[in-house]
Amino acid sequence: MISNSTRGIIVVRADACHVVGSGHVMRCLALAQAWRFFKHGQVIFFGNITDKGIKARIQREGFTLIKASRPYPNPADADAMGKLLAAQDTKLEHWCVVDGYHFKKDYIRLLRRQGWKVLRFDDYHHLEQYEADIILNQNLDAEKINYKSAPWTLLLLGGHFAQLRQEFLAYSPNYDQPQTAHRILLTFGGSDPSGLTSRAMNAIAALDCRDLEIKVVIGQTNKETDLITKSASQMPFPCEICQAVDDMAPLFSWADLALGTAGSTCWEMAYFGIPMILIIAAENQKLVAAGLARRGAAINLGSGQKLRSGVLTKTTQNLIFDQDKRRSMAETARSLIDGRGALRVVERLAKDKLLLRPVTERDCRLIFQWANEEKVRDSSFTSKTITWPEHRRWFSEISRQPYHMFFIGVNASNNNIGQLRFDVHGHEAEVSISLAPQFRGFGYGRQLLNLGIDKAWRRTGIHLIRARIKADNKNSLRLFSQAGFRAGSQKIKVKGVAAIEMTLKRTNNNG
């Protein structure tokens, strides 16, 4: 059985109000989802969160939400965090995830003195000294930053750790850019204090194009809602206002191109392969816009304060008719983000992290038992029971293959969790996975799969991994989808059984 010591708690300390954008809370939500997926315990959001849509989203996710009645920099904020920790079983893993530019190192230091282990989100590098157990910066080129922190601070830097919520991972990005882009998405943050949404709408209204569809995303804390709604009614194209959107994935899947600020939404749009025109609304967005533009994944128009409406109109119009440029931007953007960043962070937070060990001759009997377990046979393309002589011959044959990668996952208690196998042929590999019955339902499958994938990228020259799954095996389809695999459009059969082939391509960030 799995010990309760694998459980734990994370408290997210972040704000979302009219002066603090919603992006801080939303990227923490991705980390919270990943934490829960691994069954490591409770998630509490603590902060000055006034956006009704975000509050409702947190509660629908099943997370606890506690209002910071006297938020930081009021000293009562840190006192409340101390009481929150005191109310927990401190024998369990307990992390405080802090996200916000206004939190200074003294606040973090106080949390750590109270007993919290602290993960700090940062994408600005605005402090002279950082106090944290882990610093997480998901921006491109973050690896080049020289953080001044304690020698024991763990740095998780770069797009490898970009936080994407689970709803995005269920979608397959569409690379088919139309000859002319017709569907334009505007997304300038939940509150948009700079008023860029209405300015962008004016620029779009001046386009010399036909058959456009516009969708505009705004949050409930946007103070220009009435003006934006009025502008939408006067647009020469159909224009839909999307307010307090719970799930951005359908909008990203819909869009041919997007106009927005260079915030954390960029990583979500990059995952979907959306050509982006970016406007900088805050100092911390400069590096994001510059990094994406330098790689050819976005067009950076610089500061919104200095941007002329005519420049935005002309840039948008040119991109609408430039299919080759949009296709190149989409492919480049998608190569930067593989969707597994939240998983990588949780693996470093989790006390009960799995390790992979090579399968040896001693494991032959164990693998045989797992292979004949009822659910394993049901999910296989041949359901009949495997005999011991058959298994021995198969095991002996694959053991002699030099490029066959075969692992067993072992947890911190030295329990054998399950097996993972890569059958390598040239530059491709086919993967199979199964868990011991007593360890199903605890999130080990995804952890085991992702550990193996990372090892396969590093050890071999493969550039693609395939998985062939029975069409009715919903659990396996979900597992591979959450690990970044994409289902092919063609229906296939394996040994006469309807199947779905899913693939994962090597990207710039996965090895």
Residue whose tokens read 């194209």: 237
Q: List C-alpha distances in Å: 263 to 36, 203, 286, 353.
A: 25, 21, 9, 31
Q: Would you give per-residue pLDDT tens digits along the chain (511 residues)?
A: 233 334 688 999 999 887 777 889 999 999 999 998 765 678 999 999 998 889 999 999 999 999 999 999 999 999 999 899 888 876 677 899 999 999 998 999 899 888 888 999 998 898 999 999 899 999 998 998 999 988 778 899 999 899 999 899 888 766 679 999 999 999 998 889 899 999 999 999 999 998 999 999 998 888 899 999 999 999 999 999 999 888 899 999 999 999 999 988 999 999 999 999 999 998 889 999 999 999 999 999 999 999 998 999 999 999 999 999 999 999 999 999 988 899 889 878 875 567 899 999 999 999 999 999 999 999 999 999 999 999 999 999 998 888 899 999 997 667 899 999 999 999 999 999 999 988 876 667 877 898 899 899 988 889 999 999 999 999 899 889 878 899 988 889 999 999 999 999 987 655 5
Residues β-bridged to residue 99: 14
Residue 415 is predicted with a pLDDT of 83
Q: Is 244 left (phi over 0), alpha (psi -120 to 50) or beta?
A: left
Residue 91 is predicted with a pLDDT of 65
Residue 242 is predicted with a pLDDT of 96
Phi/psi at 196 (5° precision) = -75, -25
pTM of the model: 0.69
Residue 175 is predicted with a pLDDT of 66
Q: List C-alpha distances in Å: 28 to 96, 131, 163, 476.
A: 11, 19, 8, 26
Domains of the chain, earliest start first: 4-164 (3.40.50.11190), 169-336 (3.40.50.2000), 354-505 (3.40.630.30)
The SS3 of residue 87 is coil
Token digits for 173?
């990005």
Q: Is 289 left (phi over 0), alpha (psi -120 to 50) or beta?
A: alpha
- Residue 356 near residue 433, CB atoms below 8 Å: no
Cα 476 to chain centroid distance, Å, stands at 19
Query: What is the helix (H) or strand (E) element at residue 80, kind and residue range?
Result: helix 76-86
Residue 472 is predicted with a pLDDT of 92
Residue 53 is predicted with a pLDDT of 85
The SS3 of residue 114 is coil
Residue 408 is predicted with a pLDDT of 96
b vs e for 68-103, b when ≥16 Cβ sit within 10 Å of the residue's Cβ?
Answer: beebbeeeebbebbbebbeebeeebbbbbbbbbbeb
One DSSP character per residue, 411-465 reads -TT--EEEEEEEEEETTEEEEEEEE-GGGTTSSHHHHHHHHHHHHHHHHS---EE
Cα 444 to chain centroid distance, Å, stands at 18
Residue 443 is predicted with a pLDDT of 64
One DSSP character per residue, 278-289 reads EEE-SGGGHHHH
The size of the chain, in residues, is: 511
Residue 413 is predicted with a pLDDT of 62
